[in-house]
Structure 1
Amino acid sequence: MSSTIREADLGPSKITPLPARTAANAPAPQAHGIARNPGMKLDLGFMESMRSVNRSALERRVASLTKRRSIKADNQAAWLLRAVACMDLTTLNSNDTEERVRRLCAKAVNPFRRDIVEGLGITGEKIRPAAVCVYHPFVATAVDALRGSGIHVAAVSTAFPHGLTPLSTRLQEIEASVKDGADEIDVVIPRGLVFGAKWQELYNEIVSMRAACGEAHLKVILGTGDLATLRNVMLASMVAMMAGADFIKTSTGKESVNATLPVGLAMVRAIRAYFEETGYLIGFKPAGGISTAKASLDWLVLMKEELGRRWLEPDLFRFGASSLLTDIERQLEHHLTGHYSANHRHAMA
């Protein structure tokens, strides 16, 4: 199928112009402020053009990014504050309780100790995680705890983390989370559909999930650590975006291998290709194993270098993280005092 035909199918009024350059100090929007991806027909020809993935080239590119960029002093503190603004503060443990979720929400509303806020000169600035991510039973608790804060509530759904229950059950779970107030839904795909190259079935499932979400934004978790090859990662990314995903996400955090920079690079290049084809901006969320301030800087550099400044806003980029906020807070305290503090001085849930 030609590019002209594909654009005609979408309709000329829906094509988004290339995003303008944003000032470096522009405030990060907390709302969902971009045109949603309506998806497109499954185009196996377009997918075929994306099949060739050179792992060694991606690894060289990632190595050059992390070595060439060195962010220090005040600039580092500013980038770390941006990392917090792009964070989905997450608790997905078997021992989660309503009280634990309420404490996590309280941390999201006030992510830094007062002395750090005053030392950085950001009193009055609302630098907070973009969302709190929880299991379905805790959605209503999180919605109540975050009411009026502007922080989103994300729910992991569709038999997280394996996605192996009947589709009807998974769709009911999405609908229940939306009914309870979740405005973002993180869904998992059955990885077996990728291994079997059952692209139409995978596409149909994600289309159904998008419909079940209604106005809630859909983040599709690929489970990249289970997909074995970067080619599978690339093709699964394309199917998810064609089916209407608002975000594509690396991992559940439960795989043996979670978010890695080469995998992330393959996914953001899929996002760039989809944008060039359709004009729609798709978000990216690395999750799992991102627990240090240094790692968050590497991911921010990757996004800036590959997709540009616009993808450093929380409506297009998120970290899925549970312990990352603690290390960022410790790093910011070191920036102010020259000393690292113990983890217990930065309360979490």
Structure 2
Amino acid sequence: MTLQDTTTAHLPQVHLPRNPGMPLDMDWVMRAQANTSAIERRAASLPGRRSVKKDYQAAWLCKAISLIDLTTLAGDDTDARVRRLCAKARKPVSAPLLDALGMTGLTTGAVCVYHDMVPVAVDALAGSGIPVAAVSTGFPAGLSPFHLRLAEIGESVAAGAQEIDIVISRRHVLTGNWQALYDEMAQMRAACGAAHVKAILATGELGTLRNVARASLVCMMAGADFIKTSTGKEGVNATLPVTLTMIRAIRDYHAATGICVGYKPAGGISKAKDALVYLSMIKDELGDRWLQPDLFRFGASSLLGDIERQLEHHVSGSYSAGWRHAMA
């Protein structure tokens, strides 16, 4: 990958058919297993087996920026904070640094906010081509009345959100009620209409990697455009073993249906070196096509600051203070 290979953001699945879903195949779901020890060994080996340096590292880091869903999901969010975050999404790296790297037109993949902040974000991003993603369906627990969760999706879409990050009911996974999970996901997918839906599995609360694999398949069968690890609010969020489990489910689904489903790790990914490991895993397991914003996103905020700091080191040879790369 060279610096020129980095693309700007676009909506999920613009160039590919959306996932239409399929009838729930319980035989397939129950066949899904996860060899936890083998998955953990593979995940642990990856950081030491894949390394990129110098210009190649800078190119990969620019690619990572284009795949970030720049996120603020705090109880004290304000209009001003969201507008500053949107300004950062439009110009994630300082102009002199981009000039030194030979980069133009670099933006983040999307901006992700609570429903109340959707109109502000839509206004702040007008004309940029950067979509607004809204977390929905009683985020982060997903325990509000179901009709209200569906209504919340509709409100966010009406406000201009082009992507909806929904949360599943974890109890359906923990009790093995796959039909209930399928029905819930299908109704949420329908409520999103033209907006693309990312299904948050909250993997840290699902108990086992086998549950993660089965929940991934069920959500894809019900029409999820993306599957996503976490809300960022659980005790354990994105991990490499979970990622390997989910992207292999994506690979299996693609092999069986021909449909590409996206993947979004979220929560706890804050260092540039971590982003490089995730990208290398995606390249190894799914191929280059998944290294585009329509099929891969990072759910992150502080990650961008560390990437910008690493890029400045690449250009100048010196690390800068963290305050020079504030998010908002």
TM-score normalised by L of structure 2: 0.97
The DSSP-based 3-state class of the residue aligned with 2:5 is coil
Deviation at 1:28, TM superposition (A): 5.2
> Which residue of structure 2 lines up, in the alignment, with residue 324 of structure 1?
303
- Which residue of the other structure, out of 157, 171, 180, is the alignment partner of 1:201? 180
| Alignment correspondent of 1:138 | 117
Cα displacement (A) at 1:112: 0.9
Q: Displacement, 1:63?
A: 2.3
Write the letter of the residue equivalent to 2:10.
Q
Alpha-carbon separation, structure 2, partners of 1:252 and 1:29: 22
Alignment pair present for 1:30 and 2:10: yes
Q: 2:80 is paired with a residue of what secondary structure?
A: helix
SS at match of 2:188: helix
1:181 partnered with 2:194: no
CA contact (8 A) 2:7 2:66 kept: no
Secondary structure of 1:345's counterpart equals helix
Letter in 1 for 2:146: L
Match of 1:277 in 2: 256
Find the counterpart in structure 2 of residue 217 from structure 1: 196
Alignment of 1:205-284 (within 5 A): 205-284=184-263
SS of match in other structure, 2:295: coil
Task: State the SS of the aligned residue for 1:185.
Answer: strand
Give the aligned CA root-mean-square deviation in angstroms. Answer: 1.1
Distance in structure 1 (CA, Å) of the matches to 2:80 and 2:89: 14
Identity, % of aligned positions:
60
Q: Distance in 1 between matches of 2:256 and 2:79?
A: 44
Report the Cα offset of residue 121 of structure 1: 1.6
Instruction: Give distance in 2, aligned partners of 1:252 and 1:347.
Output: 23
Check if 1:80 corresponds to 2:44. Answer: no
How far is the alpha carbon of 1:64 from its aligned partner? 2.5
The C-alpha deviation readout for 1:303-330, integer Å capped at 9, x for no partner, is 0000000000000000000100000000
Cα contact 1:28–1:313 (8 A) shared by 2: no
Name the CA distance, whole Å, in 1 between partners of 2:281 and 2:39.
Answer: 12
- Superposed structure 1 runs of 4+ greater than 4 Å apart: none
Unaligned runs of 5+ in 2: none
What is the DSSP-based 3-state SS (H/G/I as helix, E as strand, rest coil) of the residue aligned with 1:186?
A: strand
Pairing partner for 1:55 from 31, 36, 39? 36
Give the TM-score taking structure 1 as reference length: 0.91
Query: Aligned partners of 1:141, 1:267: CA distance in 2, in Å?
Result: 33
Matches within 5 A, 1:87-166: 87-122=68-103, 125-166=104-145
Q: How many residues align?
A: 323
Distance 1:265 1:163 in 2: 25
- Segments of structure 1 that go 5 or more residues without pairing to the other structure are 1-23
